[in-house]
Amino acid sequence: MFLGDKMAKKDRNIIKNNQTAESTEYKKLITIIGIITVVFLLFYLITSLLTKDNLDNIFKNDLEATEIQYDEIIIGTMFNKDGKYYVLLQEKNDPYQEIFDSYITTIRGGKDKIYTVDLTNALNKRYLSEENSYDENNFKVKGTLLLEIENHKIKKHYDTKDDIYNELKELAENVE
């Protein structure tokens, strides 16, 4: 019996150790799940606090009227307008841009219509070329350009910066 008691005691110790190991692993698992939950809740709270103002603005009932601007157009729609008007095609980094914009603002206050085209706009990329082509069906441009368009056709074009400057200056001076 002595040997059997030792074996029974040994078996009880093994079972007790296994139960202790299992309970330790369960405690670790619960701790990990708890930490993950706390981190998730912190991110959720921080995100909701940061975006609360944005969500309030989105769901406001008193929506402001949206104003559509018609002053900047793309080359694909450049010939769609009726009457006589001017179109300045230029890149946003053009050194003359500030001067041209000043004249354009003055011109828009008068009777002449003038539109601008941003050549760096992705929608205008397919019209860029090494040579200018003034054909309405195959229009291509290589740089800053001023066009006078009447009845869906190019009446005049100004290729050089000096010609563009002089024409815009004259239009601005004749504003009524």
Of 10 and 61, the one with more pLDDT = 10
d(CA 76, CA 139): 9
Please choose, from the candidates 98, 81, 88, the residue with its C-alpha nearest in 3D space to the C-alpha of residue 141.
88
CA 97 to mean position of chain CA atoms: 22
Q: What is the mean pLDDT of residues 69-81?
A: 83
The per-residue pLDDT of the chain, averaged, comes to 82
> Of the ranges 59-73, 109-123, 141-155, which one carries the lowest mean pLDDT score?
59-73
* pLDDT tops 60 at residue 3: no
Of 121 and 9, the one with more pLDDT = 121
Give all strands of the β-sheet with 114-118 in edge-to-edge order.
72-73, 114-118, 84-90, 145-150, 153-158
Residues 6+ positions from 134 with CB-CB distance below 8 Å: 154, 157
Please choose, from the candidates 84, 101, 102, the residue with its C-alpha nearest in 3D space to the C-alpha of residue 150.
84
Of 58 and 40, the one with more pLDDT = 40
CB burial of 28-43 (b: ≥16 within 10 Å; e: otherwise) equals eeeeeeeeeeeeeeee
Q: Please, which pLDDT band fits residue 140 given cuts at 50, 70 and 90? A: very high
* pLDDT tops 60 at residue 176: yes
* pLDDT tops 60 at residue 133: yes
Burial grade of 21 (CB within 10 A; 0-12, 13-18, 19 or more): exposed
* pLDDT tops 80 at residue 29: yes
Residue 69 tokens, joined: 């601007």
Q: Is the CB of residue 120 less than 8 Å from the CB of residue 143?
A: no
Q: What is the pLDDT of residue 148?
A: 93
Of 61 and 148, the one with more pLDDT = 148
Q: What letter would DSSP give residue 45? A: H
Give strand pairing partners of 146.
88, 158
Q: Which fold has domain 72-173?
A: Glutaredoxin (3.40.30)
Q: What is the mean pLDDT of residues 22-31?
A: 83
